[in-house]
Amino acid sequence: GAVVSQHPSRVICKSGTSVKIECRSLDFQATTMFWYRQFPKQSLMLMATSNEGSKATYEQGVEKDKFLINHASLTLSTLTVTSAHPEDSSFYICSASQPSSSYEQYFGPGTRLTVT
Amino acid sequence: SQQGEEDPQALSIQEGENATMNCSYKTSINNLQWYRQNSGRGLVHLILIRSNEREKHSGRLRVTLDTSKKSSSLLITASRAADTASYFCANFPPGSGNTGKLIFGQGTTLQVKP
């Protein structure tokens, strides 16, 4: 089956620094990738839709200057949390869909970000 | 919420019992999906049911859909300790076209005691 990886799985950073999270589709080309964040014991909230070769589409209330998304190739999307603050601490999950079927999404294992 | 409500929010049962989780949604749908999330991990796609289907089976999973009530249920039969996880329903919001943009329900946390 289709596999999506994320790196790193866990990261701890200090307030004010930036953190980059990578999302890779390992065995398929993903024209579209999605970024979610999840607070403890809560559901996933879609942050943005990342399209290869174009600007990401952000959901209402998500600061695009704070959460920079780059989808430079068909297998890699990156999310950079800039000037991180403790309230940015969360579980970030990416997903990818294949061009042939946008109905089924494949999720990465998630990245636990802790900002101290 | 973006999607709707799931109930119960938490469910604890003994191994071997059946577990039923419900999901209500607010908008029209083309299909509805169920996902499982083990603690601290990503999501695994379980099953998709289309709007013209009323029931679908996959192994020990049975999903029903009632579009008139805008609700769906997920039944796990003969539960196992390994079924312990959070379960989410999800669908594509109106106007999302073929973008693949998914909106998730609040989820049900299932604990299966051995």
Compute the residue count for chain B.
114
What whole-number distance in Å separates Cα of residue B26 and Cα of residue A43?
A: 16
**CA–CA separation, A91 vs B41, rounded Å?**
9
Mean pLDDT, rounded, for B68-77: 95
Q: Does B101 touch chain A (CB under 8 A)?
A: yes
Q: Which residues of A touch B108 (CB under 8 A)?
A: none
- A102 versus A45: the higher-pLDDT residue is A45
pLDDT of residue A102: 58
Whether the pLDDT of residue B17 is over 50: the answer is yes
pLDDT in the model for residue B3 = 55
Average pLDDT over residues A39-65: 90
Whether the predicted pLDDT of A44 surpasses 80: yes
Distance from CA of B111 to the nearest CA of A (A): 14
Residue B2 is predicted with a pLDDT of 39
Question: Any idea which of A30-34, A52-56, A65-69, B5-9 has the lowest mean pLDDT?
Answer: B5-9
User: What pLDDT score does A72 carry?
Assistant: 82
The pLDDT of residue B97 is 59
| Close Cβ partners of B53 (under 8 Å, ≥ 6 residues apart) | B65
Check if B44 contacts A (Cβ < 8 Å).
Answer: yes
Name which of B110, B102, B41, B39 is nearest B74 in CA terms: B110
Distance, CA of B29 to chain centre: 14
Average per-residue pLDDT in chain B?
89
Q: How far is CA A13 from CA A54, A69, A86, A100, A113, in A?
A: 29, 19, 9, 38, 8
pLDDT, residue B98, reads 58
